[in-house]
Amino acid sequence: MTYRVIQWATGSIGKTCLRAVLDSPDCELVGLRVYSDLKVGEDAGAIARRRQTGVVGTMDVEEIYALDADIVIHTPRLQVPYEMFDDELCRLLRSGKNVITTAGNHYPRAHGERRTALFEQACADGRSSLFGVGVSPGVIGERIAMTLASTSLELEAIDITEVFEASGMVSPDFVFTVMGMGTDPAEVDLLAGPLPGLYRTLYSETLAYMADHLGLTGYVIEDDHHFELAPADTTIRAGLIRAGTVAATEWRWHLRVDGVTRLTLAIIWTMDPTIPRYAGRPHWQIRMSGKPELSMSIDLHDPVDSDVRTTASQYIAAGIVMQSIPVVVAAPPGVVEPVAFAPYRFRQRAD
């Protein structure tokens, strides 16, 4: 089967997905949504450094909605508020297009019946499916940690920590606005403001998915954030982080049941790999306490070829997208959720 694909956005992840689509014998690009005037009218092949395709970039979303396609690879940059892309996602779904998005929505039911119903109704109207993908959220907790948990005879707690050295990120808007780097903590609330609210909404989907499949009920999710300040002016690829402003963030949440911590998820981004708190730590580490005690470390390695600009994180995100296309297209209408095989189930006391 040949899948007719629309690529929606051509940032770092979107461009990697676009190349993968153009390189795949199973995909035909039929539309390209861009956000820059400079890319309007430019051939997709030129944007992706590939052959000419005859498909050119457009900012006319009505043109995109009207196209006939099997799947939309939706890769805009995550923004505040989290719900920013709801309308366009629902319009795409109602137009009969399946959607794979990297901008959240990994587990909408984490946010209650109303949000779940929003997407389920759009899928029902268009006989389409929605799947939110990513590495974390998406794979580390939902797939890898759940598989490891299925080996437990007795499970007490799961702790997942990500440490990402992000000084090589290119976009100033993403680094200084969405990530919160270079922020003066006296002026911006990084413990309870809009930015931690955005990440709580996003990453609570991993915690809720894991809790629901582990049989945990009546849980609460508690914030436990931290940030590190730059000791001196620090130049990174996206610009300058001034001394005394934020050079690293720790977004951490604990899922507790009856006062006992069962799940912890920490997302740590640093612009200075020499900060002792983070130096030498793996990209992801999963720790499980119980019987057996278990830990797993995972690292990503960027290409050593200096001519390749694509990073390991971009490759892995595009890989997840591409492997998901046949599954999402074949799925019945609705929100697609990863399947946990033979998961461990906590035994909670009955109230």
User: What is the Cα–Cα distance from 293 to 287, expressed in whole angstroms?
Assistant: 8
> Which of 76-80, 293-297, 307-311 is predicted with the least confidence, judged by mean pLDDT?
307-311
Beta bridge mates, 317: none
Same domain, 144 and 37: no
Backbone angles phi, psi at 239, to 5 degrees: 150, -145
Residue 258: pLDDT over 80:
yes
Q: Which two tokens stand for residue 300?
A: 């990503």
How high is the pLDDT of residue 281? 93
Residue 344, domain member (yes or no): no
List pLDDT tens digits, range 58-78.
999 999 999 999 999 999 999
> Which of 91-105, 118-132, 184-198 is predicted with the least confidence, judged by mean pLDDT?
184-198
> Which of 169-173, 255-259, 284-288 is predicted with the least confidence, judged by mean pLDDT?
169-173
How high is the pLDDT of residue 124? 98
pLDDT confidence bin for 336, thresholds 50/70/90: very high
Task: Assign residue 69 the CATH number of its domain.
Answer: 3.40.50.720
Same domain, 150 and 100: no
Same domain, 105 and 26: yes
Backbone angles phi, psi at 222, to 5 degrees: -115, 140
Same domain, 123 and 144: no
What is the mean predicted confidence (pLDDT) over 87-111? 97
What is the mean predicted confidence (pLDDT) over 176-198? 90
How high is the pLDDT of residue 241? 95
User: What is the Cα–Cα distance from 231 to 184, expressed in whole angstroms?
Assistant: 13
329, 322, 317, 265: which is closest to 110 by C-alpha?
A: 265
Residue 255: pLDDT over 90:
yes
Same domain, 120 and 168: no
Same domain, 295 and 320: no
CA 64 to chain centre: 23
How high is the pLDDT of residue 350? 56
How high is the pLDDT of residue 55? 98
Task: Evaluate whether 269 touches 164 at the Cβ level (below 8 Å).
Answer: yes
Residue 159, domain member (yes or no): yes
Same domain, 165 and 244: yes
Residue 235: pLDDT over 90:
yes
Same domain, 144 and 283: yes
Domain of 16 in residue numbering reads as 3-132+315-335
Residue 186: pLDDT over 80:
yes
Residue 219: pLDDT over 80:
yes
User: What is the Cα–Cα distance from 315 to 348, expressed in whole angstroms?
Assistant: 40
Residue 226, domain member (yes or no): yes
Is residue 183 classed exposed, middle or buried when 0-12, 13-18 and 19+ CB atoms within 10 A define those classes?
buried
What is the mean predicted confidence (pLDDT) over 197-226? 97
Residue 349, domain member (yes or no): no
Same domain, 164 and 290: yes
> Which of 44-53, 203-212, 273-282, 335-344 is predicted with the least confidence, judged by mean pLDDT?
273-282
Looking at the 3D structure of the chain, how many domains does it have?
Answer: 2
> Which of 36-50, 65-79, 175-189 is predicted with the least confidence, judged by mean pLDDT?
175-189
Residue 263, domain member (yes or no): yes
338, 326, 310: which is closest to 18 by C-alpha?
A: 310
Higher pLDDT, 303 or 283: 283
pLDDT confidence bin for 349, thresholds 50/70/90: low
Task: Evaluate whether 250 touches 266 at the Cβ level (below 8 Å).
Answer: yes
Residue 347, domain member (yes or no): no
Residue 307: pLDDT over 70:
no
Number of Cβ within 10 Å of residue 99's Cβ equals 28
Same domain, 40 and 155: no
Residue 343, domain member (yes or no): no
205, 207, 183: which is closest to 194 by C-alpha?
A: 183
How high is the pLDDT of residue 239? 93
Residue 36, domain member (yes or no): yes
H/E/C letters for each residue in the chain? Answer: CCEEEEEECCCHHHHHHHHHHHHCCCEEEEEEECCCHHHECCEHHHHHCCCCCCCEEECCHHHHHHCCCCEEEECCCCCCCHHHHHHHHHHHHHCCCEEEECCCCCCHHHHCHHHHHHHHHHHHHHCCEEEECCCCCCCHHHHHHHHHHCCCCEEEEEEEEEEEECCCCCCHHHHHHHCCCCCCCCCCCCCCCHHHHHHHHHHHHHHHHHHHHHCCCCCEEEECCEEEECCCCEEECCEEECCCCEEEEEEEEEEEECCEEEEEEEEEEECCCCCCCCCCCCCEEEEEEEECCEEEEECCCCCCCCCCCCCHHHHHHHHHHHHHHHHHHHCCCEECCCCCCCCCCCCCCCC
For the chain, the average pLDDT equals 94
Same domain, 96 and 188: no
Same domain, 166 and 266: yes
Residue 351: pLDDT over 60:
no
pLDDT confidence bin for 348, thresholds 50/70/90: low
Beta bridge mates, 33: 8, 58
Residue 188: pLDDT over 90:
no
Task: Evaluate whether 142 touches 338 at the Cβ level (below 8 Å).
Answer: yes
pLDDT confidence bin for 1, thresholds 50/70/90: confident
pLDDT confidence bin for 305, thresholds 50/70/90: confident
Task: Evaluate whether 324 touches 100 at the Cβ level (below 8 Å).
Answer: yes
Task: Evaluate whether 167 touches 235 at the Cβ level (below 8 Å).
Answer: no
